[in-house]
Amino acid sequence: MEDYESVLLVKNEVFIYKIPPLTTNKGYKASDWKLDQPEWTGRLKLTAKGLDCVLKLEDKNTGELFAKCPVDKYPGVAVEAVTDSSRYFVIRLQDDDGRNAFIGMGFADRSDSFDLNVALQDHFKWVEKSQDTSMTEENKGPSQFLGFKDGETIKINVNIGKKGGSSRPRTERSAASSGGILLPPPPGGVKLTTNTASARATPSQPVQAKSAAPSAGDNWIQF
């Protein structure tokens, strides 16, 4: 996704000065400049696009770009405060060919320079936080989500027994396979004995059914 440019700060009056070369390592002094004779007066606009920050100097009437100062960090070389005033800075201009030039910049009101300080500090605090968050997410690796996704279901097969021939007792399956018709046994487990008396019985003498429990040696069938 493309980042959009946002405006962090606008100041309608800023002064630009030509400055002498730095001769000591103690920093720049605004008192060395001709403060009553600025080289240019215009508008300052501080913008950000993603993590990049640019200080732009524009014509306050037409908005035409006069110069720009990419700011990679603050405090830093791109925007440096002078040692003898809080209203003036030395900024590093840069063109599209990468050429650099250092100029002086100042405000008539001290509150304007304070606002520039705060806007730059806030931006780079946000940059630092964004970079820390990005590194933390990379170190975490892919998240392990163990729950169900939207629309996802799970099927569980529960064996609670089947209706039909496979659930019948083995003796019933054997009888059914031989073509017999099975009836549930009467209470008490009635059996048909095959003793000698019943074998000699005449057609007019019915077979006696005994309700006693079968012994281990009996051959019996349930009705």
The answer to whether 47 touches 53, Cβ cutoff 8 Å, is yes
Identify the pLDDT of residue 168. Answer: 52
CB atoms closer than 10 angstroms to residue 11: 19
Identify the pLDDT of residue 93. Answer: 97
The gap from C-alpha 16 to its chain's centroid, in whole angstroms, comes to 47
Identify the pLDDT of residue 217. Answer: 46
Identify the pLDDT of residue 22. Answer: 86
Nearest partner of 16 among 89, 74, 70, judged by Cα: 89
Is the dihedral angle over the CA atoms 122, 128, 132, 135 positive or is it negative?
positive
pTM, rounded to two decimals: 0.60
Identify the pLDDT of residue 223. Answer: 30
Judged by DSSP in three states, 215 sits in: coil
Identify the pLDDT of residue 24. Answer: 80
Distance from C-alpha of 47 to C-alpha of 176, rounded to nearest angstrom: 92
Identify the pLDDT of residue 209. Answer: 46
In CATH, what number does 5-132 get? Answer: 2.30.29.30
Q: Show me where the domains of the chain are located.
A: 5-132
What is the per-residue DSSP string for 69-113?
A: EEESSSSSSSEEE-SS-SSEEEEEEE-TT--EEEEEEE-SSHHHH
pLDDT in tens, the chain (223 residues): 567 899 999 999 999 999 998 888 889 999 999 999 999 999 999 999 999 999 999 999 999 999 999 999 999 999 999 999 999 999 999 998 989 999 999 999 999 999 999 999 999 999 999 888 767 666 665 555 566 566 666 666 666 555 555 545 554 444 444 454 555 665 655 554 444 444 444 454 554 544 445 444 444 334 3
